[in-house]
DNA sequence: CACCATGTTCCTTG
DNA sequence: CCAAGGAACATGGT
């Protein structure tokens, strides 16, 4: 379900629900998800721990907890491609692809992940080496420009590299390049100053607009209906007339919103790239 | 059976 | 040592 905006919206929803709640038990149904921790370690370390604030770093969720001893703990989660997290009333059965569940007494906090590319661990080393947060002051235009000058790979590929800037995934990389008018195959070092400036601001714009949109949806993540729905590609519930969510992503063959020429698709590092040949140079 | 899918990590090759 | 490309992880939808 992830890319930065979806994770951010989830974090904002989960924070108020989880804060202050105490973990009675931890069920690890997919040991792989908690690697390199063992299920036993996770169970014992988190037993009777209380949730504090939840924050986001890149596409990771960072859960601050306090143990009964007063010792602080940080649990780090990643949704992979298909992860969802939500609260489920205690009397309801766990969904088929639950990988970890926290017993909170009346409810369970559930991590469901069909493809199991996600993570949930006490090992915070995954946060090392990440680039700047695109929506913070750390994402400086000058630094971004210099980083592009130092690379030779195609710009679309660079945007997916979490050491250049974090949080951008396949959807928003395509969208940002479209809005900046830059062809996805352009090599980084060929990006001009004005183009770098446009791309820098397009990245910020597509991400913050997606967050606003996710907030507007007032998603019912308290399960019942299955939790927080990814609002990136799934067909949405009625009532939201905002049909053109994406300008290019998933729109192969459909007309460009600016010039009408058909959106094209190509493959870069085994991922689909969508773009307008006429508007992106 | 074919191909597609929001991500990261590890391995090979040059 | 580094960069680039590819495969792997695992499951489901169309």
Chain B nucleotides close to protein (CB under 7 A) are 4-9
Residue A82 pLDDT grade (very low, low, confident, very high; cuts 50, 70, 90): very high
Task: Please tell me the number of Cα atoms within 13 Å of A190 on its side-chain side.
Answer: 12
Q: Which residue minimizes Cα–C1' distance to B7? A: A80
- The tokens of A134 are what? 């695109």
CA distance A210 to A199: 16
CA distance A199 to A179: 8
Does A263 contact strand B, using a CB cutoff of 7 Å? no
- Indicate if A59 belongs to the active site: yes
To the nearest 10 degrees (0 to 180), the angle between helices A170-180 and A193-216 is 130
- Indicate if A3 belongs to the active site: yes
Tens digit of each residue's pLDDT (9 = 90 or more) over A173-222: 999 999 999 999 999 999 999 999 999 999 999 999 999 999 987 665 55
pLDDT for A238: 41
Per this entry, what is the length of chain A? Answer: 281
Residue A227 pLDDT grade (very low, low, confident, very high; cuts 50, 70, 90): very low
Residue A1 pLDDT grade (very low, low, confident, very high; cuts 50, 70, 90): confident
- The tokens of A188 are what? 């980084």
Does A169 contact strand B, using a CB cutoff of 7 Å? yes
Q: A235 pLDDT exceeds 50?
A: no
- Indicate if A222 belongs to the active site: no
Q: A229 pLDDT exceeds 50?
A: no
Strands (E), chain A: 25-28, 50-57, 60-66, 72-78, 83-89, 98-103, 107-113, 119-121, 264-268, 271-275
- The tokens of A205 are what? 């714009």
Has this prediction a pTM greater than 0.85?
Answer: yes
Does A151 contact strand C, using a CB cutoff of 7 Å? yes
């Amino acid at each position: 379900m992830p890319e930065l905006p979806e994770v951010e919206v989830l974090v904002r929803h989960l924070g108020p629900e989880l804060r202050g709640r105490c973990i009675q038990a931890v069920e690890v149904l997919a040991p792989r998800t908690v690697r390199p921790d063992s299920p036993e370690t996770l169970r014992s370390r988190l037993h009777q721990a209380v949730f504090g604030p939840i924050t986001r770093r890149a596409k990771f969720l960072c859960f601050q907890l306090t143990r009964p001893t007063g010792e602080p703990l940080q649990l780090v989660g990643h949704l992979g491609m298909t992860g969802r997290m939500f609260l489920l009333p205690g009397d309801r059965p766990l969904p088929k692809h639950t990988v970890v569940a926290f017993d909170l007494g009346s409810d369970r906090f559930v991590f469901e992940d069909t493809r199991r590319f996600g993570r949930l661990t006490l090992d915070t080393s995954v946060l090392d080496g990440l680039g700047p947060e695109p929506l913070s002051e750390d994402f400086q235009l000058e630094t971004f420009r210099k980083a592009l000058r130092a690379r030779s790979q195609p710009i679309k590929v660079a945007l997916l590299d979490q050491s250049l800037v974090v949080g951008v995934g396949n959807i928003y990389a395509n969208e940002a390049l479209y809005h900046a008018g830059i062809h996805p195959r352009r090599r980084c070092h060929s990006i001009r100053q004005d183009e770098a400036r446009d791309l820098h601001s397009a990245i910020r714009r597509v991400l913050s607009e997606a967050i606003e949109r996710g907030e507007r949806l007032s998603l019912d993540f308290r399960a019942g209906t299955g939790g927080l729905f990814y609002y990136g590609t799934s067909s949405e519930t009625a009532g939201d007339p905002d049909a053109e969510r994406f300008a290019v992503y998933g729109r192969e063959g459909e007309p460009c919103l600016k010039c009408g020429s058909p959106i094209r698709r190509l493959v870069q590092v085994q991922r689909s790239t969508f773009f307008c040949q006429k508007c992106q140079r």
